[in-house]
Every structure is written in C-alpha cells, then in structure tokens.
Amino acid sequence: MRRAAILARIEAAAKAAGRTEGDVGLVAVSKQQPDTRIDAVLAAGQRVFGENRVQEAQVRWGARRAQFSDLVLRLIGPLQTNKAEDAVALFDAIDTLDRPKLAAALAGAMHKLGRRPDVLVQVNTGEEPQKGGVSPPEADALIHAARETYGLPVRGLMCIPPANEPPGPHFALLAKIAARNGLSQLSMGMSEDFETAIRFGATHVRVGSALFGPRG
C-alpha cells in the first residue's frame, strides 16, 4: 500500500531533520480521485484529507462524514466569499485565507453556524499572478487583521511554490513569516517535494498523486 511507504518516508525525513514523526501530518489530497482509491486509503487508516473545491468535497464526503466520525477535512484550494458558509459547514480547516474580504466572510459564517474550523493563511511566496495567496510583504498585516479584526482561529501558513523553481527558499520564507507571527503550523510540500518541506519545518504535507496514483 502506497500509504505505508509515504508514512515511512515522512518518518525518515522527520528523523533526519531532528524532528519527531508525530510533528508531521499527512494530508491525503483526494481531489479528482475515484471512490475505490479513497475507500482503500480510509481502510488503511488515513483520516485527514485535503480537497480543493467545496462542491466536489461536499459530494465526496457528505455521506462518508457520518461513517467516519474522526475524519478531518481540509480545504486547500481557493475559496470564493459566496462559498464561505458552505466551506465552514463542511471543513475542519481552511488553509487558503488570502484576503481581508474572505476573512470577513469566514468570520460571518463561523458566527452564523457556530463552527470554528482552523484557518491557515496562504502566502503566494513566488508572487505568481495566477496563484492564490497573499504576497509576502502583505502577509503580516493580513495575519494580524484575521486574528484581531475578524477574530479568526489562525493556526499557521500554507504555500504552493512555483512549479519551476527549487522549493527550499519558498519553504524557508514561509517558515520565517510563521515564526515572526508566532504561528506553529506550516502546510507545505506535495508529492514531489514533501521531504524537502519537512526539512524546512512542515507540520502538514499535502500528498495526492504519490499516495493515490495519477488523478483522473
């Protein structure tokens, strides 16, 4: 089973970095994966999953939620303000806060629904125009506003480095922004680079294709 191999690699990378295995959680990125693969990973004991679209996640996890009470669902894709309420209703963590308007929408939805999923701020470390995330120079102000103005439970940061660059400097930048803001969680690293991310302090690695196989 691929999951056991991934967990072994996470453990080895954590140990090599002088960290303990329990410091790094595997987020199984289940977007666009067939049910059979998801059920197999659930049967192997995986409970933390990442999805990048609210509607797709509702369809995939609506019924399974009732079956697995210890499921943890994380939103790792861009969120529109008009979907904030649906996202707060379904997810246990929203990893892609990147603008004040969305912070306001999430705060309103949390108040209305009486649910407080964890929030991570996504930082666009490569300042790529097509990618979500707050730009690094604006990150401190957004983190501050999310906590103080909107009262959100901000736990950490998330990034997706540019595809064509070495990811290390991006992971280092994310870790630095988190440290100076007193944030402990770092969601970084995917199939191709999760071991590097662990070396730079990742607490959550988001692994899709290496765990499930190629997306359909």
Ligand X SMILES: *Cc1c(COP(=O)(O)O)cnc(C)c1O
Instruction: Give the interface segment with ligand X, choosing from 5-13, 110-118, 177-185, 203-211 (CB under 6 A).
Output: 203-211
DSSP 65: H
Q: How far apart are CA 183 and CA 163, in angstroms?
A: 25
> Under the criterion CB under 6 A, does residue 209 sit at the interface with ligand X?
yes
Give 181 or 209: the residue with its C-beta nearer to ligand X: 209
Of the pair 26, 154, the CB lying nearest ligand X is at 26
Count of residues engaged in binding ligand X, rule: CB under 6 A: 13
CB of 97 vs ligand X, minimal distance in Å: 14
Least separation in angstroms between CB 194 and ligand X:
8
Measured distance CA(100)–CA(141) in Å, rounded: 10
Q: How far is the CB of 203 from ligand X (least distance, A)?
A: 15
Q: Is 135 in the site for ligand X (CB under 6 A)?
A: no
Q: Give the span between the Cα atoms of 74 and 96, in whole angstroms.
A: 10
SS3 content of the chain, % helix, strand, coil (to 5): 45, 15, 35
Residue 47, burial from CB neighbour count under 10 angstroms (0-12, 13-18, 19+): middle
Pairwise CA distance, residues 110 & 107, whole Å:
5
Structure tokens at 127: 């300042």
Residue type, 200: F
Q: What angle do CA 214, 188, 96 make, to 5 degrees?
A: 90
Distance (Å, whole) CA 99 – CA 67: 34
Window 58 to 117, contacts with ligand X (CB under 6 A): 76-77
Q: Which two tokens stand for residue 71?
A: 């499921």
**Closer CB to ligand X, 88 or 122, in the complex:** 122
Interface with ligand X (CB under 6 A), residue from 29, 87, 186, 198: 29
Q: Considering only 11-19, 102-110, 171-179, 204-212, which stretch makes contact with ligand X by CB under 6 A?
A: 204-212
Of the candidates 99, 147, 199, 206, which one interacts with ligand X according to CB under 6 A? 206
Question: Based on CB atoms, which residue is closest to ligand X, 76 or 120?
Answer: 76
Q: x-or-dash pattern for ligand X, window 31-60, by CB under 6 A?
A: x--------------------x--------
User: Roughly what angle, to the nearest 10 degrees, separates helices 54-67 and 35-43?
Assistant: 40
CB of 138 to ligand X, least distance (A): 20
The footprint of ligand X (CB under 6 A) covers: 29, 31, 52, 76-77, 160, 190-191, 206-210
